[in-house]
Structure 1
Amino acid sequence: MTLTILTSIAPTALFYQLAQAVFREVPVNPDSDQATDWLINELSKPSYQAAKPTLFDRISKAFSDWLGSLTIGGSNAIPTVALVILIALIVIAIIAAIIVYGLPRLNRKSRSDDILFGESDRRTAAQLREAAEKAAARDDYESAIADMFRAIARGLSERTLITMTPGTTAHGFALRAGHALPECAAEFATSADTFDLVRYMRKPASREQYEELRSLELRVRAARPILAEAAL
Structure 2
Amino acid sequence: MIAPVEPGADEAREWLLGELSKPPYQAARPTWFDLVSQAIGDWIASLRVPDGSGLGGLLPVIAVAVVVVLLVIAVIVFGRPRLNRRSAVAPGSLFGDDDTRSSAELRASAERAAAAGDFGTAVQEAFRALARRLAERTVVMTGPGSTAQDFAARAGRSFPPRADELRACAALFDGVRYLDRPGTRDGYERVHALDRLLDAERPVALDAVAPQTVSAGRA
TM-score, reference length from structure 2: 0.57
Q: 1:144 aligns with which of 114, 118, 122?
A: 122
Q: Distance in 2 between matches of 1:111 and 1:159?
A: 10
Amino acid at match of 1:181: F
Q: How does 1:1-20 map to 2 (within 5 A)?
A: none
Aligned residues: 142
1:153-192 mapped onto 2 (5 Å cutoff): 153-192=131-170
The one-character-per-residue Cα deviations of 1:66-116 (angstroms, maximum 9, x if unpaired) are x95xxxxxxxx95343797xx9xxxxxxxxxxxxxxxxxx9xx58932100
Indicate yes or no: 2:111 matched with 1:133: yes
> What amino acid is aligned across from residue 117 of structure 1 in structure 2?
F
TM alignment of 1:208-227, pairs within 5 A: 208-227=186-205
More helix by proportion, 1 or 2? 1
In the alignment, the residues of structure 2 paired with residue 136 and residue 78 of structure 1 have an alpha-carbon distance, to the nearest angstrom, of 72
Decide which structure has the larger Cα Rg and report it.
1
| Greater than 2 Å deviation, 4+ residue runs | 77-84, 109-113
Per the alignment, do residues 184 and 80 of structure 1 end up closer, same or farther by CA in structure 2, a change over 3 Å counting?
Answer: farther
Structure 1: runs of 5 or more not aligned: 1-56, 69-76, 88-105
Coordinate RMSD, CA, aligned = 3.4
- Alpha carbons of structure 1 residues 171 and 123: separation in structure 2 relative to 1, 3 Å: same
- Kindly indicate whether residue 24 of structure 2 is the aligned counterpart of residue 79 of structure 1: yes
Equivalence for 1:47: none
- Structure 2 CA distance for partners of 1:110 and 1:176, relative to 1, 3 Å: closer
Q: Any unmatched runs of 5+ in structure 2?
A: 1-12, 33-83, 210-219
Amino acid at match of 1:156: L
Shift of 1:163: 1.3
What's 1:193 paired with? 171
Relative contact order, higher structure (CA 8 A, sep 6+): 2
